[in-house]
Amino acid sequence: MVTRSEQIFVNLPVRDLQATTTFFTKLGFEFNPKFTDENATQMIIGKNIFAMLLKEDFFQTFHKSALADTTKVREVLITISLESREAVDELVDLALSIGGETAAETQEYEYMYSRSFLDLDKHLWEILYFNEDAFE
């Protein structure tokens, strides 16, 4: 049996929903108003890929585990591919200029270029350009 999902939802706890929404809006992301209220918002990453940004107390209604302290541990690495190295630089540079933090050194290989940043809640976002032509 092959399992394939039609959509992907990454659920992330956030301390300040408004500040986080503003941060990602400045990065060019859009939000689905149908799934946005005072507790959560649905950020559109791709055609069928979404990040549900949930206020921490609301996030905890879905499970009993403690939240990860993202200043000390990583609970997830979110990777987004873009169409070019320039697009990677543009997005990460913008993220850093509006309050994001550098997460790691730039990685550059024949087939991949990536940079990463921590958002306002210290979630790790890796932005990459993947050169599939390098494998031909």
Q: Please name the residue that has the structure tokens 């630089």.
A: 89
75 lies in the same domain as 123: yes
What is the rounded CA–CA span in Å between residue 83 and residue 132? 11
53 lies in the same domain as 104: no
Handedness of CA 43, 66, 104, 55 (dihedral sign): positive
What is the rounded CA–CA span in Å between residue 37 and residue 21? 12
Helix (H) or strand (E) run with residue 56 in it: helix 56-59
Instruction: Quote the pTM value.
Output: 0.88
- The answer to whether residue 2 is domain-embedded is no
87 lies in the same domain as 44: no
Backbone phi and psi for residue 97, each to the nearest 5 degrees, phi listed first: -75, -15
| Residue-level pLDDT, tens digit, the chain, 136 residues | 677 778 899 999 999 999 999 999 999 999 999 999 999 999 999 999 999 999 999 999 998 889 999 999 988 999 999 999 999 999 999 999 999 999 999 999 989 999 999 999 999 999 999 988 877 6
Domain range spanning residue 88?
69-136
